[in-house]
Structure 1
């Protein structure tokens, strides 16, 4: 079996530099033909991965966090080539959803080796259309308070680590107000104000925030998560519950299942699996069994 192993050199802010070479060494020892892909920055790595993948492979392994998973999903979607994940980032939400180790790269490598001995499994993925661009995601698209926090966190240079997201969240809470959305769910158009709108294929985003704890990667449906207008104090009260998934019964929280979703709003950008798509609108379509995974 010929495997491509794409390694993010800055995964977990550079704390896991040794993981990629260790994964490659282990796979070679297991008897696989391995090509390691590693570049100085993410854009160069994306280009190298696209070129190597076009030449053919029996599997693509990504080593890093959700950005690497996004790279992998966008390469393998609808190709039948399986994707393997060794979680070594700060979020690791698809690894969590697949039941893979998400905070121990050595255990993640062991799990990958075991998974390679079994037939891959198919999961759903979501295809987005944003302007002229098509992008796939496997976990969650966010387009509300959480995406505004992401925007702020990405502009911050300090601190280097997950606490940057927390600080950005606190800063946004001071001024955030409900936005006016137009959301079309399976052809039914609704206009409303909301604090947060996410479209989930998997249960969590942002490193374990279980926004849709009941989401299923292979049920053929998207889960639209809407938080209706709240006071800032109300948002402060409900937001921590998202980490444990205990927010689901809150009266301001709504879940709707769908196959097609369009989100429109001013001054909001969409993020898919943590990667910025750009300002709304965005169209989202669930594609059943679009991605094959070693898990």
Structure 2
């Protein structure tokens, strides 16, 4: 696809202006899985800002505004303190910065668990104020009624089973799930319940691989793996993890670039130029205009 650039005169920044094209929809994504198989795997990455959305959008089918922004953007110890206002602000930015991928916004802890009606109020606000294509919530059988309630009222829902970060205080940490038969059976039942309730896709996080493979074969909707299996119908990663912005990443992350090193080296060169008074130079300063003759 072709991309031009439009100069914002108020900020002197050039913003990518893509050639017009149709944004992917939730039905487009759901229909990738036909008769239990997905010929073209679904690509999803997290995005939290308009600029990250601009850079990632052309390569993704889905952009997830994850509540992982609590740790990645705000330096919080977990996703539990993330608020609805935070998710809406970042969700709206990602929608503005994208034009191709369907944007999905996480519902933060405490905004949907109490009742289907409470979930609808939160989800409706997210949809209205961001323009996103759908929402994601954590939980399995316990949330199936809520998923059905939302989907019947026009709100597309992506489910999330296995390692559910919002439940870290109950789970006791971020360890892989499904190592016992009882836990594996529960994760399987959770996924089937979400599928039956109308979820258009299900994230499977941090489970032993045979569980992810079995779920993918049993549910009609696409599965999106993270720390699961390449045999899921798609994959998601936190973009900042994949780009190498952090020194430590979970086991399931493949680091495709070391952006942290690039940023550190650039900052070091900038600091050296400032201290040597070689920046700013003539190209970065404004000089008086020559008097008119």
**Superposition TM-score, scaled by structure 2 size:** 0.26
**Superposition TM-score, scaled by structure 1 size:** 0.26
Larger radius of gyration: 2
Q: Which has the higher helix share?
A: 2
Q: Which has the higher strand share?
A: 1
Larger relative contact order, structure 1 or 2 (CA cutoff 8 Å, min sep 6):
1
